[in-house]
Each structure stands twice: as structure tokens, then as C-alpha cells.
Amino acid sequence: MAFTIRINGAAHSVDVDGEMPLLWVLRDELDLKGSKYGCGAGLCGACTVHVNGAPTRSCLLPISAVGDAQVTTIEGMSAQPVGRRLQEVWQALDVPQCGYCQAGQIMAAANLLTHTPRPTDADIDNAMAGNVCRCATYNRIRQAIKHVAETE
Amino acid sequence: MMTAPQSSRRFFLQAAAMAGGGLMLRVSLPRHAEAAQQAGVLNAYIRIAPDNTVTILSKNPEIGQGIKTSLPMVIAEELDVDWSQVHIEQAPLDEVKFGRQFAGGSLSTPMNYEALRKVGAAGRHMMLAAAGQAWNVSPAECRTDRGTVNHAPSGRSLTYGALAERAATVALPDLDTLPLKDPKTFRIIGQPIPGVDNAKIVTGQKLFGIDTTLPGMLCAVYEKCPVFGGKLVSANVDDIKALPGIHDAFIVRGKSTGDMQSLQDGVAIVAKNWWTANKAREKLQVTWDDGPTAQQSSAGFAEQAHKLAHAAPAAWLRQNGDAASALQHAAKRVEAAYSYPFLPHMPLEPQNCTAHFQDGKVVLWAPTQNPAPGRRLVATTLGIEEHDVTVNVTRIGGGFGRRLRNDYMAEAAWIAKQVGVPVKLLWTRQDDMRHDYYRPAGFHFFKAGLDGQGKLTAFSDHFVTFGRNGGLADSAAMDSNEFPAQLVPHLQYGQSVMELGIPTGPLRAPRSNAMGFVFQSFIDELAHEAGQDPVAFRLSLLGEPHVLKGSADPMRAFNTGRMRDVLTKVAEVSSWSNRRSLPARTGKGVAFYFSHMGYFAEVVQTTVSPAGEIKLDKVWVVGDVGRQIVNPSGAVNQVQGAALDGLGAALGQGVTLDRGRVVQGNFDSVKPLRMNQAPPVEVHFLTTDHPPTGLGEPALPPVIPALCNALFAATGKRVRSLPIDTGMLRA
Ligand code: FES
Ligand code: FES
């Protein structure tokens, strides 16, 4: 089936099975490799994108359910002030180890800071608990989120 | 043109002019230093271009340990260039050119540190010589500063880039006598420098193996027998081929050599996109011949281990004094049985590999920690020569030891050969968790004796472990020098073996990640039985500072003085002596461990709810990895990650076997640590006058017993089996 979806402000047309999750449309059809596959079951958050601003596990979202929603991926985050700021601080504080989870972490953190510009530790726990970092860079992620909040 | 190489006792240096006027420097160990080379050493390439950019090739795979940043820092320091001039390139697999290329064993730093300093210093020396020639002055009058050479008396200066062509023609320095910088003047080494791939990582650019895309590429999945080593009888591949979007589906016959590291029987499904290929597995029907491993289960092994524990060990690893009689005559006898499960690695990037087979040759893009054996395996599997296999090493989404094995490379190569166009093979999370080389489970049956003063006089361990094909299973051994081997007068370590059909292998801090838990937990029990402070008990066990026998290499021998110092320091920074004033059901625990040449002592503080839920309050880590931390940013990140990794494993990880297959399949049943569980980890390094050693691994082993000992302090319940059963911690 043909679908036209809007990603990072641009329209993209693909012809795929309607059940195909957005993650695989992004990665295999549109060659946007920033969103990652980690579990395919909503358990790790590596595939997190924003759908109309809400953080969403793209591995579970069938393309047929995307409709004309605005999808933002890590590749589009530099266009948003909070996204760009997170990307800068993530680099400067040297958050990544292997780096595989970090796109998803930034997507989750961006959503947190958009709604809670001054998050507490508990806010950070709640917002970030769905995003696994197998290298366990959690101390740095927390530090980076706080740094962005404090220097806003 | 290459200049004649300059050889020294340890090094081999060559310089050449680059096309377009730059300098290329190559340093390696001479061939006769075989042993060192095997261990993963150096072969450095530096290019200095006329525009003053310095390119350093990073030869070892980057798995998140930060090697792609830290080793080039060492060269850049002694070369005396500005870090902003430096570009890092990942080297392709070519061990003739680069020496051994792998990531593992926390060996990169110890093997390379001094050598890479010399590499940089040689480059700097040649720049000075070139400037001296250019200005007709003595190089001794010239100084380098961040990529330029200055001649103060005449006020002249030239960049390295401008000097590079001439530098390629000067005499090579003698590496043995080449002066190195005074560490006090370091500007790059010892500075926190962010990872060189960070910008690409945070903007989602293609970087990892899974991101590989080639023109005309197809995607594949590979279904194997859920029982390890099972054989394929039949499969409905024609039905699969008929499904919409499926390009091909076929049966693959394995090349099994019995070690489970080679191609196994299975069914490959290939489609334009990965989801379609994977979806077709729902319709796939395979009849397997499970083979003998289908009899094996975790419950069966536990039962067998306890039976074996009643008999004498099959073999003695060590016997000092007369442990049996000393136990009999001890004032107090303590017995405890410990066990730990099989552990998966579960790097967040599942196993994958992209391959393109053409004209009898294959090119692979592989996220592997250990590319050279991968190339051998691919060559053997396809029946082609090794020089017809090219391996490009991508950035890696986590290794933890899993990617020291290259089974996915053999699968991708085979499928690509069959299909004839580029193919990316990607495993699902379930494939990854169910086809791993697990950290072996193990069982320890301890007995110890204390005298009237609470001194440890007798110690006995009967270790029940796993064997394979007549030997021990991979990573299932225990060191006969395991602490406190040389510190108790009457001590014995015995071993019995159960035959295993499940593949095993190294997991971050192999062996130590399990031994640390059992030995440092049992020693804590003994401290409590002796009525002593667990820190003081350990200090008295360590005794006066001295080096224990056990390794010809002084770096690998246990120095009790270094351990005393980290232990004393961790007690201080964690306010250990105030622990009695903690609230009810909050406790602190301590442990230490020596592995990978690093000394680590750690304290965990935890609070346990009446329902048994564990909250991790804080972790304190003190490490001694020698005289220089190359990159403090990466170092702290590694140590925090290792400590949290251990805590995650203790809290929620382990696979169980049932009828020869792994029961768990995803992060709901093997639980990675999450943000809401992760405590702050405070890291301190003691700087000591010893060569720098690695730190990807040695911070992990002590954290698990430190946690279990803290749980005992908080609840009075002793955890002797992992993962922790919170039910037993209820008030
Ligand atoms: S891949 Fe989507 S949550 Fe893990
Ligand atoms: S940095 Fe490796 S998974 Fe997060």
C-alpha cells in the first residue's frame, strides 16, 4: 500500500505493508538510520521518535497508524532549540559510550524538557526509565539533562 | 619513498613522504616481539598533511570503551599538536600492517601506552630536525608548540604541515633514547576529551554495523535450532518463498565443528526490507533434530551440582597445608553454598553483518571486536582464501565480549554468496539472547574455619563448573591463585565438572565477574562470624604490603599493598565508619577485587523496603590503574558503566535453560538496569607509580558482592544466589 508520511517537516511516500512499523520504514525504506532497533517490543526506547511531539516507540507503530502526523526523528532534532542544545551538551559532557542508545535518550530527554523545563531527579527517572542504556551511562545522562535545564 | 627503517630493541620506525607533500610515520614492534604482538599491540600510522591536519589511524575496534579517542590522545600529546588538528580514522582489518586488532581484556592501554608516546615523540623530533635544516640552525634552538616549530632567536616559525615534506627525509631518531615529555607538562593526556564520534552519534548519522547500506542491498534473517547444535530435518521454504515481498528463502547446512563458533544449520529468509523477512518467520515451519543437548536444563544442573558437592572434588586446583584437619579443629566452622546463572551479553545493537560476495571474493561490514578470526571463519566457511575476504570494522553498539565471536559473519557471508547481491543479516533481540556464548553458571561449596581470635585459619572451596568436549567450557575455569589463596595457611580449592552443550564465552571481566561475587561475599560472612568490621577483617587478611606469587609477569601478580590502599580509601570516602548511624533497613557493604591488572575496592549503600524492593542509594569506587589516566572523561564513564553493569546483572539478569533451550528472549525477562534504578557512582583514582592499565572491566567484579554485603547489613539476609531474589529480603 502507498503511504505518505511527514518526517522532519518533509513528505515521504512509500509503498509498503500497512503493518510495517514506522521504525523499519525509516531505516530500510527512507534510509534514516538514526532511530535504532534494540528490542522490537517497546522495552528499550532505542527507536524513540516524536509523533506530533509525543515520544513514541517506532518499533511498535504501524505505518498505517501514522496518518498525517508530524514525525520527528533524531535527524530532525537539530532544528529544534531544545534538541540542538541537548545534542551540544551530550557531546560536551561526553555522555556516549558505545552510543547506540543515545538517539533514543535524546528524544526522551527533549520531551521531558519541553514539558518540564526544570526536572527533578524523580522527573528524570520517570521520563527516562523506558530508555535502556546497556553501557549504563545513566549518571552522565542525568547530568546532561540537568545541565541543559540549568543553562536554558 | 620510504626511508630505511630504524630498528631498536623494541620498535621499528619508518617514515615516508606522502603524495602531495605530507609526512607518513609508521611505528611497529619488531617481528621478534611476537608475544607482545599477539597480546594486541601497536602499530601506529600518523599522517601529517601540508594543511597541518594530523590523521591518526585507530586500529582497534571501538565498542564504547573509548579507545578511538584515548590512544590517539597519547600520540598527539608527544607529537605536540593541538587536539583540534587531529582527525581519527578507523583502520580496516589488516594485521600484517597494523598488528593484532581487537578489543578485549582491558589490554589496549597497558600494551600501547609507552609505545605510542614514542611514536608521537619520534614525529616531534623529526619536525624539529626538519626546521633546523630549513633555517640552518641547530634543532636544539627550536621549540615545538601545538603543531608549529618556533625559533625564538630569529622569530621564525613554521607549521608541521609546512615542514612535513622535509621531515620525511631527515634521519630517524633512536626510539630507545628519545626523550619523552615530562608528564607535568601534558596538555592532552590527563584532560577530559569527548569521544571523537560524539557529533555523529547525537545527530543520528550512519555509524554502526546495523546502519550499513549498499546499493541493491537486501535484508536477511536466519532461523536456527532453539536447541544448541540441533540439526535441520526439513523446512517449508517453498511456502516462505511464495509470500509477498520475499526475495528468497533457503536451507543452510552448517559447518559445525562442535565448538558452536561456526556456521550452524538454519533457514535464511531474504527480502527487500528486514521487517518483511522477519515477519515471514511467523509462517516458517522447521523440523529439527534437537540432539543430545535437549536433555539439559538449569534445574538439572543445580541438582547435579549439589550431588557432586557431597563427594570429593574430581580434581584439586590447590592444596596448602591440611585444610580438612584444620577445619575439624577450628574454633568456629562456617559453611555456605553459592551459585550464579548463565548470563547473556545483550549488547543493545543486536548481532548483524553486511556482506557482498562477488567473483569468488567477499567484502564484509562487521561490528566485531575481533575481526581477524572472523575473516578466518568466513574463509573456511566459504572455502575461499583469507586474502579474498575483506573486513571493514564498523563502530559497535556494545560488545561486552559477545563480539569476540564471529558467528554472524559466517552466516552473512554464506547468505550473501547464495543470493549474489549485498545482504545485511540482522538478528532479532530474541535471536541474540538465545544464541549467545553465555557467561557460564557455577556453584561453589565453601567451608572455612576461624580460630578463637576470629582469625581465618582454614578455607575450602569445591567449585562445580562446566566442561565441554573433554576440557573445561570456555570461561568456566577458576584460578588456583584466587584470593585468599596465599594468605590462609590451610587452604584447598577442588573442582568438579558437568558436561555442557550450551556455548559459553567471556563476558566483561570474564571469570572475575563471578568469582568476585562468591569469594568477596563469603569473606564478608566470615568477617561477621568473626565479629569484625568487614574492612578491618579484609585488611588483616591482606596483611603487610607484599606481592603474591602466581604470575611471572609482575603486572599480573597481586600486590596486597595496592589493594590495602584502595580499600582504605574507599572506606574513607564512603564514611564507612559512620555506617552504624544509617536508618533501619539501610546498609553499606564493601568488597574488593583485582583483575585485568587493576585494583578496585567499592562500597554500595542500599535501602530495602519492607516488601523487599531494593533501592540503590550510592556507589563509591576507588581504583588504582597506575600512574596516568589518559582520558579522565572516558575513564569515569567506563568505571561508572562497569559498576552499574554489575548491579544490573545482580538485580535482574540470568538465563535459564529448559530442554536445551534458553527460556528468556527479551528485556522483559532479562532486565537491563534502568535510569530509575541507577544510583550515583562516585569514582576516585589513586595515582601510583605503576604502568597505566585498562579500566573497561576491573571496576565490575567488586560491585556485586558490595551490593550483596550491603543487603546483609540492611536486612540480615545473605544473598548466595544470583540474580537476587527480592522475596527473601522481605521484612
Ligand atoms: S526497539 Fe523499540 S522499544 Fe526497543
Ligand atoms: S551508550 Fe551504549 S547503550 Fe547507551
pLDDT of residue B421 exceeding 80, the answer is yes
Distance (Å) of CA A44 to CA A59, A65, A132: 10, 21, 5
A57: which strand partners?
A: A48
**Are B388 and B485 within one domain?**
no
Cα A34 to averaged position of ligand 1 atoms, centre (Å)? 13
Identify the H or E element spanning A2: strand A2-7
CB B27 within 8 A of CB B7: no
Distance (Å) of CA B460 to CA B321, B467, B527, B654: 11, 22, 16, 27
Cα A138 to averaged position of ligand 2 atoms, centre (Å)? 9
**Mean pLDDT across A29-37:** 98
Size of interface A-B (CB pairs under 8 A): 186
Main-chain dihedrals φ then ψ at residue B518, nearest 5 degrees: -75, -45
How many C-beta atoms lie closer than 10 Å to residue B251's C-beta?
13
**Are B575 and B447 within one domain?**
yes
Least confident residue range of A96-105, B35-44, B211-220, B369-378: B35-44
d(CA B346, CA B400): 8
Selection from B666, B670, B677, B673 nearest residue B654 by Cα: B670
A98: which strand partners?
A: none
β-strand pairing of B86-90 with A2-7: unpaired
Looking at every residue in chain A, the average pLDDT score rounds to 97
Confidence class for position B470, pLDDT limits 50, 70, 90: confident
The domain in which residue B173 lies consists of 12-190
**Are B86 and B229 within one domain?**
no
Q: What pLDDT shows up at residue B43? A: 57
How many C-beta atoms lie closer than 10 Å to residue B358's C-beta?
12
Give the residue, out of B63, B198, B348, with the most ligand 2 atoms within 8 A of its beta carbon, to mutate for a pocket test.
B348
**Mean pLDDT across B183-197:** 94
B621: which strand partners?
A: B602, B683
Q: What is the DSSP letter of B679?
A: P
| Domain count across chain B | 3
Instruction: Please judge whether A39 and B666 are an interchain contact, meaning their C-beta atoms are less than 8 angstroms apart.
Output: yes
What distance lies between CA B496 and its chain's CA centroid? 28
* ipTM summary value: 0.98
Comparison of pLDDT for B553 and B242, the residue scoring more? B242
First to last CA, chain B: 77
Longest dimension (CA), chain A: 47
Cell numbers describing residue B107: 589490554
pLDDT of residue B554 exceeding 80, the answer is no
Domain membership of residue B5 (yes or no) is no
pLDDT of residue B315 exceeding 50, the answer is yes
CB B437 within 8 A of CB B232: no
Give B198-244 pLDDT, tens digit per residue. Answer: 999 999 999 999 999 999 999 999 999 999 999 999 999 999 999 99
**Are B376 and B470 within one domain?**
no
Interface with chain B: mutation pick from A134, A137, A146, highest number of B CBs within 10 Å: A134
CB B65 within 8 A of CB B103: yes
Q: What pLDDT shows up at residue B67? A: 82
Angle at B527 between CA B525 and CA B528, to 5 degrees: 65
Interface with chain B: mutation pick from A7, A97, A126, A132, highest number of B CBs within 10 Å: A97
pLDDT of residue B37 exceeding 60, the answer is no
Instruction: Please judge whether B641 and A44 are an interchain contact, meaning their C-beta atoms are less than 8 angstroms apart.
Output: no
d(CA B681, CA B644): 8
**Mean pLDDT across B609-620:** 98
d(CA B236, CA B576): 64
Selection from B556, B565, B549, B700 nearest residue B619 by Cα: B700
Q: What pLDDT shows up at residue B535? A: 98
Domain membership of residue B2 (yes or no) is no
Least confident residue range of B90-104, B339-353, B369-383, B465-479: B90-104
Least confident residue range of B167-171, B569-573, B706-710: B167-171
Left (φ > 0), alpha (ψ -120 to 50) or beta: where does B94 sit?
beta
d(CA B725, CA B731): 14
pLDDT of residue A127 exceeding 70, the answer is yes
The sign of the torsion formed by the CA atoms of B559, B562, B566, B567 equals positive
d(CA A140, CA A136): 9
Distance (Å) of CA B66 to CA B63, B114, B510: 8, 18, 20
B46: which strand partners?
A: B25, B56
From A68's Cα to the closest Cα of chain B, the distance in A is 22
CATH number of the domain where residue B36 is located:
3.30.365.10
**Are B335 and B404 within one domain?**
no
Nearest residue on chain A to B346, alpha-carbon basis: A134
Give A40-68 pLDDT, tens digit per residue. Answer: 999 999 999 999 999 999 999 999 999 99
Comparison of pLDDT for A27 and B172, the residue scoring more? A27
Least confident residue range of A3-7, B92-96, B164-168, B482-486: B92-96
The DSSP-derived string for B171-212 is PPP-TTT-----GGG-SSTTS----TTHHHHHHT-S-BGGG-
Q: Where are the alpha helices (DSSP H) in B63-182?
A: 67-79, 95-98, 108-135, 160-167
d(CA B100, CA A13): 47
Which one of B161, B190, B219 terminates a domain? B190
The sign of the torsion formed by the CA atoms of B98, B100, B106, B109 equals negative
d(CA B486, CA A91): 47
* Ligand approaching nearest to the C-alpha of A134: 2
Q: What is the DSSP letter of B182?
A: -
Give B629-673 pLDDT, tens digit per residue. Answer: 999 999 999 999 999 999 999 999 999 999 999 999 999 999 999
pLDDT of residue B97 exceeding 80, the answer is no
CB B165 within 8 A of CB B50: yes
Give the residue, out of A27, A35, A39, with the most ligand 1 atoms within 8 A of its beta carbon, to mutate for a pocket test.
A39
Cα A132 to averaged position of ligand 1 atoms, centre (Å)? 9
Selection from B380, B377, B301 nearest residue B341 by Cα: B301
Residues of A in contact with B202 (CB under 8 A): 74, 86-87, 90-91, 96, 102-103, 106
SS3 (DSSP) at A127: helix
- Cα dihedral value B268, B272, B275, B276, nearest 10: -70
Q: What pLDDT shows up at residue B20? A: 77
d(CA B401, CA B134): 51
pLDDT of residue B316 exceeding 60, the answer is yes
Q: What pLDDT shows up at residue B469? A: 85
Ligand 1 proximal residues by C-beta, below 6 Å = A 37-40, 42-47, 57, 59
Instruction: Please judge whether A37 and B210 are an interchain contact, meaning their C-beta atoms are less than 8 angstroms apart.
Output: yes
**Are B671 and B571 within one domain?**
yes
Give B320-379 pLDDT, tens digit per residue. Answer: 999 999 999 999 999 999 999 999 999 999 999 999 999 999 999 999 989 999 999 999
Left (φ > 0), alpha (ψ -120 to 50) or beta: where does B332 sit?
beta
**Mean pLDDT across A15-32:** 97
From B244's Cα to the closest Cα of chain A, the distance in A is 10
Residues of B in contact with A92 (CB under 8 A): 194
Which one of B370, B392, B426 terminates a domain? B426
Within chain A, which residue ranges are assigned CATH 3.10.20.30?
2-76
Nearest residue on chain B to A130, alpha-carbon basis: B674
Distance (Å) of CA B551 to CA B480, B557, B566: 11, 5, 21
Cell numbers describing residue A129: 526509565
d(CA B490, CA B322): 5
Give B681-701 pLDDT, tens digit per residue. Answer: 999 999 999 988 888 899 999
Give the residue, out of A20, A27, A43, with the most ligand 1 atoms within 8 A of its beta carbon, to mutate for a pocket test.
A43
Q: What pLDDT shows up at residue B204? A: 98
How many C-beta atoms lie closer than 10 Å to residue B441's C-beta?
29
Selection from B115, B122, B113 nearest residue B190 by Cα: B113
Within chain A, which residue ranges are assigned CATH 1.10.150.120?
77-151
Domain membership of residue B199 (yes or no) is no
Q: Model's pTM, two decimal places?
A: 0.95
**Mean pLDDT across B86-102:** 78
Q: What pLDDT shows up at residue B110? A: 65
Domain membership of residue B304 (yes or no) is yes
Q: What pLDDT shows up at residue B33? A: 43
Cell numbers describing residue B48: 601529517
Residues of B in contact with A46 (CB under 8 A): 348
Nearest residue on chain A to B676, alpha-carbon basis: A125
**Mean pLDDT across B505-518:** 97
Q: Whose CA is nearest to atom 4 of ligand 2?
A: A133
**Are B142 and B124 within one domain?**
yes
**Mean pLDDT across B86-106:** 75
Q: What pLDDT shows up at residue B666? A: 98
Confidence class for position B2, pLDDT limits 50, 70, 90: very low
From A93's Cα to the closest Cα of chain B, the distance in A is 7
Domain membership of residue B689 (yes or no) is yes
Q: Given the C-alpha cell 563480539, which residue does it identify? A: B403
Looking at every residue in chain B, the average pLDDT score rounds to 92
Identify the H or E element spanning B26: strand B23-28
CB B566 within 8 A of CB B587: no
Give A133-147 pLDDT, tens digit per residue. Answer: 999 999 999 999 999
Confidence class for position B38, pLDDT limits 50, 70, 90: very low
Instruction: Give a three-class secondary structure readout of B67-92.
Output: HHHHHHHHHHHHHCCCHHHEEEEECC
% of chain B exceeding 90 in pLDDT: 81
> What number does CATH give the domain A2-76?
3.10.20.30
Cell numbers describing residue B149: 616549530
**Mean pLDDT across A67-96:** 97
**Are B287 and B303 within one domain?**
no
**Mean pLDDT across B391-402:** 94
d(CA B714, CA B580): 11
Cell numbers describing residue A47: 527507536
**Are B338 and B355 within one domain?**
no
CB B413 within 8 A of CB B422: no
How many C-beta atoms lie closer than 10 Å to residue B36's C-beta?
17
Identify the H or E element spanning B605: strand B598-608
Ligand 2 proximal residues by C-beta, below 6 Å = A 96-102, 133-135, 137; B 64, 348, 398
pLDDT of residue B563 exceeding 70, the answer is yes
**Mean pLDDT across B376-399:** 95
Instruction: Give a three-class secondary structure readout of A57-110.
Output: ECCCCEHHHCCCCEEECHHHHHHCHHHHHHHHHHHHCCCCCCCCCHHHHHHHHH
Give B72-82 pLDDT, tens digit per residue. Answer: 999 999 999 99
Q: What pLDDT shows up at residue B28? A: 67
> What number does CATH give the domain A77-151?
1.10.150.120
Helix, strand, coil proportions of chain A in percent (round to 5)?
40, 15, 40
Which one of B156, B190, B224 terminates a domain? B190
Cell numbers describing residue B255: 559447518
